[in-house]
Structure 1
Amino acid sequence: MPAMHVRLGAFSAALVLTATLSTTAFAQKKYDTGASDTEIKIGNIMPYSGPASAYGVIGKTEEAYFRKINAEGGINGRKINFVSYDDGYSPPKTVEQARKLVESDEVLLIFNSLGTPPNTAIQKYLNQKKVPQLFVATGATKWNDPQNFPWTMGWQPNYQSETIIYAKYILKNKPDAKIAVLYQNDDYGKDYLKGFKDGLGAKAASMIVIEDSYEVSEPTIDSHIVRLKATGADVFINITTPKFAAQAIKKNAELGWKPLHFLNNVSANIGSVIKPAGFEAAQDIISSAYFKDPTDPQWKNDAAMKAWNEFLDKYYPEANRADGAVMYGFIVSQGMVQVLKACGDNLSRENVMKQAASLRDFEPVGLLPGVKVNTSASDFAPISQLQLQRLKGETWELFGDVISSDAGG
């Protein structure tokens, strides 16, 4: 009998040992290049110079936000090492910087690099290297293609669904419109244009009286605006980045051309577009939003706005608080932190993508009420809701419901 006891004791001890071993194996930390017990190295590429330099503040805001996270103890005890380079919005330069980040700096991932042409230039390279190209700062529809590009994920509402919403608004409220379209001659501009035509459907051919494109290398688009006005169009679809958006608004006013003016969300920025162009010139422009506009008085006592201001006071006091790009950088940085927290001690690139594709009703501070971040293994479009807004006085006024762009408005 005692022998039996001994055997059982040995058996249960073996069970305990096995359980302990498997728990230890399970709890082991897992790191890919760019992660360790003390650090998570994140790469980023921004146009700090060149024609899209107005967006450079996004990178500066992100750097400030990660400093805040580090000051508060980091992510699961690890500090973020944020390495951000300038590409001047030039795709060949983007390629150079991406290679540097991956091969020399050895980052874990590339986060929120800006622009459609720049991100297009590095997408294949990063997917071949299996380096996450996470939450890219562009709304091109193609970032949501997990089947062909499992290492690339977007962030903001996609361009096509945004212009589908504008098209539906025009069909409902101005069915006999004569529409002039100005767009940037690259993937970003063409993506917006495709959505707009899809939204108009069979009526696109008769309603659009002119489609004019400009090159990002042009110093001014004044001659394009003159051409558009000459058609007698009464609706203007303005698909431009901030520098050119401000020029267009200014030129419209100079010429006395007052069409119903739709401005793409990427330039619906009080600080870098509307104010420089002149508030008077921009009255009644329609755009769309998915996050709170810092200049909108309705958010004055809002908890999110207070948190944003406190963050800026401490970590980025020189920020232009009228610049929506600063709010954008604040929100997307929260998305990055959420994913890294969810990774726990498994900081493999594969797990980073897995956690990025597992966001459920996540609400970063600063999104409009009702807008939530959702992803899945088959849906790499984190934000797909928008609300229309109209410029009144010196701020945007939201109107209508929050529209899910999944349904195309």
Structure 2
Amino acid sequence: MADFIEIVVNGEDMPFFFKQSSHTVQTPKPAGSSCLLNLMRVTAALIVVLFAAHAHADGDPILVGQSAVLTGPFTPNSLAFISGQTLFFDKFNAAGGLNGRRIKVVTYDDAYLGDKAAANAEQLIKQDHVVCLFGTMGTAIGAAMTKVAMANHSFIFGGLTGAEVLRDTKLPVYHIRASYADEARRTMTHLRIIGQTRVAVVSSDDAYGKGIEEVTLRALTDGGNPAVISLRFDPKQDNLRDVAERVTKSNAQAVYVIAAGLPAINVIRALSVLPSHPPIYTNSVGSSFLLYKELGDKSRGIILSQVMPPFWQTRLRITKEYQQALQGAGQQNQASYMGLEGYITAKVFTEMLRRVSGSITTESLRHAIENSGPVDVGDFSISFSPSKKSGSDFVDITFLSDGGKFVQ
């Protein structure tokens, strides 16, 4: 018999049926709904964020709570992360889970709205009784859910943000990825090493841009080469030619763009259409898919820092394992940095569950995370302690080549 799966999107219950034998999903066509909603239903179904029970995993499931961006901005990043976590958890559950207990992720849509994310966190902790929250997307979402987690003595594992505001060790958030500050410092060091000492900094005039701008300017000054120009722009403005022209007139050898989503695309587009411009750098928030979709061949040569190992290479055991898992699931064309991050986050999480002594509770899991030492997932190590909630400071430098593909 098929297992019933329920995902909540746009405030509507969405029933799907998951066949254990073939792992296919059937979605009833809702009467009178738009093509876009139908597509979103199918997309959400294909991710399958609640996993089917396996015959040999007969213990009570370990419930994990997730508020995700299934609709609205940043949906591609969120879905890519979920595909990676699902890939690992499916494999883990198929192998018998943890002593016969499968991991079951309960996911609600927050549409990238803080109020909805907070409400989701309340429901997940108080009604669904999850052991913890998992894989939250973005700074505003993470901040909203952190307040709920603190009030209910819970925590977030694998927050998808590099913002310093959520890096305070007193906050109950365990990060797998390096911070935005780590990315900025690594990029400025890279520029200094290759002799590009005249650097322009362009930031969105919002909390995201200002926070990273401060760290970037400090890193340049500490390295002996202050920014030749530092500009802020209105993220709601789409015509940024004047900003781009001021950058080129500064004779900068490189420009570091600090913005997320469409605002980043707008300023990079303004630079790329000029007859000449300095090399464009940005951080891991930049989506290669979105950059190539919006800029086409003009995205070639954009340099991005990354907080995960190169997903397309096999020199590391974890990236080789990830590629093999994708191939085994028939998803070999879906590899991505966000997918790898979801996969690694899920793998570290299950290892922490293994290290729990006695019953698995929120507190016993927290103790295992903070006190059981480093986790080597395959030539890539993550470690936490009571005074260290950022598990990694790994930062790599990549650039976009033809077709939006990454190259080191």
Q: TM-score range, shorter-chain basis?
A: 0.7 to 0.9
Q: Which has the higher contact order (CA 8 A, sep 6+)?
A: 1
Most deviating of 73-82 and 224-233: 224-233
List aligned pairs for 1:235-314, cutoff 5 A: 235-267=254-286, 269-270=287-288, 272-278=289-295, 280-295=297-312, 299=313, 304-314=318-328
Alignment check: 8 A CA contact 2:244 2:270 kept: no
Tell me the distance in 2 between the aligned counterparts of 1:133 and 1:361.
18
1:340 aligns with 2:353: yes
CA 1:227–1:249: 2 relative to 1, 3 Å: closer
CA 1:167–1:309: 2 relative to 1, 3 Å: closer
- Residue 396 of structure 1: aligned partner: 406
Aligned-residue identity in percent: 18
- Residue 229 of structure 1: aligned partner: 245
- Shift of residue 85 of structure 1? 1.5
1:158 aligns with 2:179: yes
Q: Which amino acid aligns with 1:163?
A: A
- Given candidates 108, 127, 144, the residue that maps to 2:150 is 127
Alignment check: 8 A CA contact 1:183 1:193 kept: no
Tell me the alpha carbon deviations over residues 109-133 of structure 1, each in whole angstroms, 9 at most, x when there is no partner.
0011110111112212211211121
1:51 aligns with 2:73: yes
List aligned pairs for 1:1-400, cutoff 5 A: 38-57=60-79, 58-146=81-169, 148-149=170-171, 151-174=172-195, 177-183=198-204, 185-186=206-207, 188-201=208-221, 207-215=227-235, 218=236, 222-224=238-240, 226-231=242-247, 232-233=249-250, 234=252, 235-267=254-286, 269-270=287-288, 272-278=289-295, 280-295=297-312, 299=313, 304-315=318-329, 317=330, 321-358=334-371, 360-365=373-378, 371-393=380-402, 395-398=405-408
CA 1:172–1:205: 2 relative to 1, 3 Å: closer
Alignment check: 8 A CA contact 1:41 1:107 kept: yes
CA 1:308–1:175: 2 relative to 1, 3 Å: closer
Tell me the distance in 2 between the aligned counterparts of 1:120 and 1:204.
35
Tell me the distance in 2 between the aligned counterparts of 1:273 and 1:251.
16
Tell me the alpha carbon deviations over residues 126-171 of structure 1, each in whole angstroms, 9 at most, x when there is no partner.
112111211211112343333x32x222220011121122223344
Q: Which amino acid aligns with 1:155?
A: I
Tell me the alpha carbon deviations over residues 306-328 of structure 1, each in whole angstroms, 9 at most, x when there is no partner.
4323323444x457525321111
Q: Decide which structure has the larger Cα Rg and report it.
A: 1
Alignment check: 8 A CA contact 1:183 1:213 kept: yes
- Shift of residue 224 of structure 1? 3.0
SS in structure 1 of the partner of residue 395 of structure 2: strand
Q: Which amino acid aligns with 1:288?
A: S
Most deviating of 44-53 and 385-394: 385-394
SS in structure 2 of the partner of residue 266 of structure 1: coil
CA 1:178–1:309: 2 relative to 1, 3 Å: closer
- Flag structure 2 segments of 5+ consecutive residues without an equivalent: 1-57
- The two structures, once aligned, show a CA RMSD in angstroms of 2.9
Q: Which amino acid aligns with 1:310?
A: Q
- Shift of residue 251 of structure 1? 3.9
Alignment check: 8 A CA contact 2:176 2:390 kept: yes
Q: Which amino acid aligns with 1:91?
A: G
CA 1:343–1:37: 2 relative to 1, 3 Å: farther
SS in structure 1 of the partner of residue 345 of structure 2: helix
SS in structure 1 of the partner of residue 176 of structure 2: coil
Tell me the distance in 2 between the aligned counterparts of 1:156 and 1:210.
27
How many residue pairs were aligned?
346
CA 1:87–1:121: 2 relative to 1, 3 Å: same
- Flag structure 1 segments of 5+ consecutive residues without an equivalent: 1-35, 399-409
- Shift of residue 178 of structure 1? 4.9
CA 1:356–1:300: 2 relative to 1, 3 Å: closer
Tell me the distance in 2 between the aligned counterparts of 1:45 and 1:95.
9
Tell me the distance in 1 between the aligned counterparts of 2:367 and 2:375.
15
